[in-house]
Amino acid sequence: MSSITNTAVLQAPAYSVAVRALCEFTAKQGDLDLRFTPSPTAQEGIAGHAQVTARRADSYQRELSLEGRFGSLHVRGRADGYDPQQHQLEEIKTFRGDLAAMPDNHRQLHWAQVKVYGHLQCQKLDCASITLALVYFDIGSQKETVLVQEHQATELEQFFQLLCGRFLHWAEQEMAHRTDRDSALLGMPFPHAGFRPGQRELAEAMYKASARACCLLAQAPTGIGKTIGSLFPLLKASAQHSLDKIFFLSAKTSGRQLALDALTIIKKNDPSLPLRVLELVAKTTACENPELACHGDSCPLASGFYDRLAAARSAALQLPLLDRESLRTVALAHQVCPYYLGTELARWCDVMVGDYNYYFDISALLYGLTVANGWRVSVLVDEAHNMVSRARKMYSAELDHVNLKAVRKTVAGDMKKVLDRLHRQWLQLEKDQASEYATYPAIPEKFLQTLQATGAAIGSYFADNPRIVDPLLQRFYFDVLLFLRLADSFADHSLFDITSAPNGSALCIRNMIPGPFLQARFAASHSTALFSATLSPWNYYGDMLGMPDTTAWVDVGSPFEAAQLSVNIARHISTRFAHRDQSLVPIAELMAQQYDTQAGNYLAFFSSFDYMDKVLAVFTERYPRVPVWQQARRMDDSGRTQFLARFTPDSCGIGFAVLGGTFGEGIDLPGARLIGAFIATLGLPQFNPVNEQIRLRMERLFGSGSGYDYTYLYPGLQKVVQAAGRVIRTESDRGVVHLIDDRFARPEVLQLLPGWWQVETAKES
């Protein structure tokens, strides 16, 4: 529960809340206002506070720890400073731009905080009155604006009691929910008649990891029920291990829907279970009025948002499942924004289902709330083989010269001069570059200094002109901020490279090893479990993701038998780029032969659209009797649905697709809907200058031989096994997989294939 600590083993005080959380919950009012105004970074805020307090007298007391009681509520926090000579308590706020443009409800919230601190200080000193000051410090000008109010202790006490009374009613309700929830979870039955083979082993590993408060890497085959096999034990652990929240995170919408379906099954099996489940969706998906600006003067769902929030929040928490549609319904009924209602409800729900970025991204919502509120959370990472590539993107940043050139055309005056200076520095980088692609041991200092000055100037420009809307400049500003933030932590885990093009170069801080960034995320959780059918070898994922040394590893045995899946290696065919044209006819012949042997539904995977198109052309010319359909290059949701709809229990044919795309994982075609797969590639990432730089860095950091494996072999074979895993989904399925390339027969490749496979190697033709 947000900012409520259950010391309820039930020792007094029963409830503890931070001053800031108390005020945000009880004193926020008015509109939601997200008009873009650059705010100081965390580092600038810390520096600004230090600047202000350094100007005070030697007797000035900094970071004053204060606490108080209201009934069973314990309120605690740190006031920024107290001047005993003037008997003045100060709250310091850093900002940029025009202070007069600050929304009134922000100012009211700041006064609420300093009033609560004022009451606690009066109580501590046993004084009858106190001077309260809001100190606004402009990061740009380094000037203070001090707003002062005199207050009587009795007046502040009444204000404190008013806020605490509002909060205590909610807190008691929440603690009752927590008690009921934990009691129900202790007795919650498994929602099925029994565990599937392998499912119990996975569930036990999940529970033990929570008991040990450690991370877990779990390789578990497709089809054993990993979603319920991970959620059920963590729900049972919530009561016994004092968990506040469970975060179920997935890379794709299909994975999140599986989690919501599993939680629905759990709740239907135990209707009295008071479990609050929330689906978190992207703002672009949840926004009702994308054409309107996000503030009360433009969007009716932002107008009066905080005035209607309490009623909307209470109504939402009465629903058994807050998925996207349920949340939208209750939000619109109360005329509030669905997206921001969802972010508010994250503080009060028990299970959150969302994308990886909600916990692992550089500015992740759930991670921020976890740290701020001291939550004890368990994190479940579904299809975790995707984490390496996704996390690399989270901690990479790119600046494109084309965008800078476009932005320069939209501005004038001093801002154009600032961007011109950056443009000249960029031109010098391009002039000095000898090849189309080049990496550098460090970001050139002169360019970085100019970029920092540019970021500061754009920030000041937006702060001084809050009504100006310039999407191009704003987007470029965000790119600059991310680039600068990652530049501060640039090290061996990332590359700095420049790629030239006729219309301008691209500068990239390219993360290769996300581990150093993710370690704080693992440390902030009680336990984090990453699970997938393909997490082998475990040391690759441990190294890439920065898993703690205490991480446990489990390889769940397959419930399937070798007789269920015929795995064949076509070692007489090479799919190497140089041999592709010679491979077209043999691949078509192999596919036709298999289809003639057993007609049914098959998937055929290739390394690229071009390769797929060439094989398809040969196949349809030679074997027009076989129905075929193919993945389009830019396939929307409707196209994907139509592609999958061709796989019915009564249909026959071959669907052509690209390995690593939308049909290589996360789809479920049991029984006769899919009886086989042809995989005409090892899935190896493209051989290019970027990947070669990654290979060299892996070799240097992780030892001889690891460069090729970590860069090419492991990521490639992971996609192959995922694609093959589409064939056998249940214990009654039967099917065939053809691995089409001679390299599949190599010992180092064979050992990376699932242990339950019985691989047969085709004889030379």
Cα distance between residue 673 and residue 650, in whole Å: 8
Within this chain, do residues 344 and 406 fall inside the same structural domain, yes or no?
no
Helices (DSSP H) in 533-636: which residue ranges? 538-545, 580-597, 609-622
User: Final residue of a domain: which of 170, 196, 229?
Assistant: 170
What pairing do the DSSP bridges indicate for beta strands 73-83 and 601-606? unpaired
Helices (DSSP H) in 141-252: which residue ranges? 153-186, 199-212, 226-240
List C-alpha distances in Å: 6 to 13, 16, 234, 275. 9, 8, 19, 17
Mean pLDDT, the chain, integer: 92
Which token pair is 308? 């209607």
Cα distance between residue 633 and residue 614, in whole Å: 14
User: Final residue of a domain: which of 511, 538, 573?
Assistant: 511
Which token pair is 381? 């990472």
Whether 412 is in a domain gets the answer yes
Whether 6 is in a domain gets the answer no
How many structural domains is the chain composed of? 4
Neighbours of 654 (CB within 10 A): 26
Please tell me which residue, 515 or 36, carries the higher pLDDT value: 515
Which token pair is 319? 């629903």
What CATH number is attached to the domain comprising 322?
Answer: 3.40.50.300
Mean predicted confidence (pLDDT) in 408-423: 93
What CATH number is attached to the domain comprising 155?
Answer: 3.90.320.10
* Position 223 confidence tier, pLDDT thresholds 50, 70, 90: confident
Using a 10 angstrom Cβ sphere, with 0-12 exposed, 13-18 middle and 19 or more buried, the burial of residue 164 is: buried
Within this chain, do residues 507 and 536 fall inside the same structural domain, yes or no?
no
What is the reported pLDDT for 37?
66
Within this chain, do residues 284 and 403 fall inside the same structural domain, yes or no?
no
What is the reported pLDDT for 13?
41
Within this chain, do residues 388 and 494 fall inside the same structural domain, yes or no?
no
Within this chain, do residues 645 and 668 fall inside the same structural domain, yes or no?
yes
Among residues of the chain, what percentage have pLDDT more than 90?
78
What CATH number is attached to the domain comprising 418?
Answer: 1.10.275
- Check pLDDT > 80 for residue 448: yes
Within this chain, do residues 316 and 205 fall inside the same structural domain, yes or no?
yes
Q: Which region among 20-34, 67-81, 511-525, 653-667 has the lowest average model confidence (pLDDT)?
A: 20-34
Cα distance between residue 262 and residue 264, in whole Å: 5
Predicted structure pTM score: 0.90
User: Final residue of a domain: which of 170, 196, 219?
Assistant: 170
Within this chain, do residues 448 and 541 fall inside the same structural domain, yes or no?
no
- Check pLDDT > 80 for residue 623: yes
Whether 181 is in a domain gets the answer no
Within this chain, do residues 133 and 223 fall inside the same structural domain, yes or no?
no
- Check pLDDT > 70 for residue 11: no
Mean predicted confidence (pLDDT) in 632-636: 91
Domain containing 493 equals 398-511
Q: Is the dihedral of CA 449, 450, 455, 459 positive or negative?
A: positive
**Taking a C-beta distance cutoff of 8 angstroms, is the pair 285, 334 a contact?**
no
Whether 5 is in a domain gets the answer no
Q: Which pLDDT tens digit goes with each residue over 712-732?
A: 999 999 999 999 999 998 888
HEC-encoded secondary structure of 706-754 = HHHHHHHHHHHHHHHHHHHCCCCCCCCCCEEEEECCHHHHCHHHHCCCC
**Please, which residues have CB within 8 angstroms of residue 215's CB and are 6 or more apart in sequence?**
209, 522, 525, 527, 528, 529, 530, 547, 548, 550, 551, 552
Using a 10 angstrom Cβ sphere, with 0-12 exposed, 13-18 middle and 19 or more buried, the burial of residue 409 is: exposed
Whether 7 is in a domain gets the answer no
DSSP classification of residue 705: T
Please tell me which residue, 253 or 594, carries the higher pLDDT value: 594
Whether 198 is in a domain gets the answer yes
- Check pLDDT > 90 for residue 222: no
Within this chain, do residues 356 and 422 fall inside the same structural domain, yes or no?
no
Mean predicted confidence (pLDDT) in 11-37: 79
Cα distance between residue 387 and residue 401, in whole Å: 30
Q: Which region among 461-465, 533-537, 699-703, 712-716 has the lowest average model confidence (pLDDT)?
A: 461-465
Closest CA to 23 of 39, 2, 44: 2
Within this chain, do residues 431 and 383 fall inside the same structural domain, yes or no?
no
Within this chain, do residues 641 and 741 fall inside the same structural domain, yes or no?
yes
SS3 533: coil
- Check pLDDT > 60 for residue 170: yes
Q: Is the dihedral of CA 447, 449, 452, 454 positive or negative?
A: negative
Cα distance between residue 623 and residue 592, in whole Å: 7
Closest CA to 357 of 347, 366, 345, 346: 366
What is the reported pLDDT for 397?
98
Whether 3 is in a domain gets the answer no
Whether 9 is in a domain gets the answer no
Mean predicted confidence (pLDDT) in 457-461: 86
Within this chain, do residues 671 and 743 fall inside the same structural domain, yes or no?
yes
247 φ, ψ (degrees, to nearest 5): -110, 120
What is the reported pLDDT for 412?
87
Q: Which pLDDT tens digit goes with each residue over 272-317?
A: 999 999 999 999 899 999 888 888 888 999 999 999 999 999 999 9
**Taking a C-beta distance cutoff of 8 angstroms, is the pair 643, 703 a contact?**
no
